[in-house]
Amino acid sequence: MKNKQKENRIIGTYIYPSFANKNKIYKIKAVLLEYRKTAAAIAKLQWKNFYTKGQFDKNMNIKSLQSRLTERYKQTCQWQVVSILEGFISNIQQEFAKIVFSSNLPEKTKRILLFLNSRKEWLIKKNKKAVWYENNEKTEYEITQEERLLSKKIFKHILSKWNKPRFRNISMMLDSKVAIAEENRKSKTFDKWIKISTLERNKPVFIPLKNNTYAEAVDGEFLNFYQIEVKENKLTVRLIKELKKKEYEPMIPEIAIDLGLDPLFATDKGDLIGKQFLTFLTKMDEKITRRMAYLQKNGIKPSQDTMYNKMVKNLREFLKNEINRFLNHIVELYRPARIVVEKLDFRSPELSKRLNRLIQQFGKRYITEKLKRLNELYGIEIVEVNPAYTSQQCSKCGYVDKDNRKSTHEFECKACRYKINAQINGARNILNRRSIEDIKIHTPKKQVLKILIEQYLERHKGCNSAPLEVLSSNPYFSEFLDTLPIPLECDKCL
């Protein structure tokens, strides 16, 4: 029960302005460099434990590990390392499930592989049988050696494609063993002190902090955890607060959101939110592209250029602020019990490859984090649906044709001539997709198309269907033409 309560905690991190002199920053930076070095060494030991025992161990004995950090610091570091590695493994589990769902393997094999994946049994044998429940009925299958080998092969395939977490740039997540914040009651110049242990025993540094008025006003309780980072000799201190869940009374059952860049969001209710989003990104793209050309000409790495790093930082802050602002607006406007979204893709042909990559990397993460936070704070259910053909299907009649979408903004159905904004049409398809039981999040694209076409032909039999010349010119319908009556007729016409 305690573990469940911990998992349900809502955590907020807040920057508190710090006023450390150069000497104090130097000492904290020395700790940070040793902390990162120690984290990398701990990660090697943890991976060794994972390969032999099938799990990471946050309480592993690391006293023999050589480090200038104290034992308390080393244990704090180990907890952070294990947390990062477990997050990485969780992502592998999701990718594993995606591969299995989209494969042509027999249903029984899929279920056994998913069972092994859910228990992280890719390398270690723990269960002899795969067990699951369906309609309150228990099903058991013996796990064969071939299925275990296939599970291991899929896991290693994913691991070979992905970079393992590196710890050379992590910030320190410190607990009360090595850091503590206290109110300052002796002076009005600043509001708090944070005491941080250094590499010199019994010689901590005291950093004065100014209050973050927003963080102080947020309903919740501060925890004895602190995020410490030094970049370009600038110290950043974040205090961590456990937030209270907010009272929330839904006004509508659900709302669907289509993600784009021009605008950023469209809803099934007809809203277009963030119309200037792409304009700002285009201007930023031009600046970043010019800077990159200069760096390449002079043989300078982007990571070593202060101006380039500042541009990327501004991009990240813009994405995060706008995503938070627009999603908050949607929730305040409609107060939904459920938000339905498609599996996220975040790019535009109007932007450079570099900016598209940055947007994919940061924008996708910020939207996922914000939706998770809305679920935690308000209890709003977040449902993700399969995105296949939501941009090509008519939300009115269900006809699927790649020529339905005339441009980024225009949608006109070739079958029923329905005209609508392309993103609003996509949002309505996302909402409708949730009710199609046969289309799961990992259903292969080809299978999704088959289901959509069969549903369309079933609903629009005979003369209610699109004209034959429209269907025959649509490659999606080629394998279904032989099943259609010629001429297209319905019972009323006979």
- What is the maximal distance between C-alpha atoms in the chain? 95
Provide the 3-class DSSP secondary structure of residue 258.
strand
pLDDT at residue 362, as a whole number: 77
Q: Which long-range contacts (CB under 8 A, 24 or more apart) does 275-281 make?
A: 277/322, 278/348, 278/350, 280/318, 281/348, 281/351, 281/355, 281/359
Give the model's pLDDT for residue 479. Answer: 85
pLDDT tens for each residue of 381-423: 999 999 999 999 999 999 999 999 988 889 999 999 999 999 9
C-beta separation of 427 from 270 below 8 A: no
Tens of pLDDT, residue by residue over 173-217, are 999 999 999 998 887 789 999 999 999 999 999 999 999 999 999
The H or E element containing residue 267 is: strand 265-267
Ramachandran sector of residue 265 (left: φ over 0; alpha: ψ -120 to 50; beta: rest): beta
- pTM of the full predicted structure? 0.77
For residue 11, the cross-strand partners are 242
Helix H, strand E, coil C: the string for 205-223 is EEEEECCCHHHHHCCEEEE
CA distance linking residue 450 with residue 63, whole number of Å: 59
The reported pLDDT for the residue numbered 347 is 61
Give the per-residue pLDDT at 191.
93
The predicted pLDDT at position 491 comes to 46
pLDDT at 139: 83
Spans of the chain, pLDDT less than 70: 1-8, 344-350, 462-465, 484-494
The predicted structure's pLDDT at residue 392: 95
Q: For residue 101, what pLDDT is reported?
A: 87
Cα–Cα distances (Å) from 207 to 68, 97, 181, 233, 239, in that order, read 22, 47, 9, 15, 13
| pLDDT of the residue at 75 | 96
Q: Kindly state the helix (H) or strand (E) to which residue 363 belongs, with its residue range.
A: helix 353-378
Using left for φ > 0, alpha for ψ between -120 and 50, and beta otherwise, residue 273 falls in beta
Residue 337 is predicted with a pLDDT of 96
DSSP three-state, residue 350: coil
Place of tokens 């970049």: 231
The answer to whether 466 and 476 have CB atoms below 8 angstroms apart is no
Looking at the DSSP bridge assignments, the partners of residue 339 are 255, 382
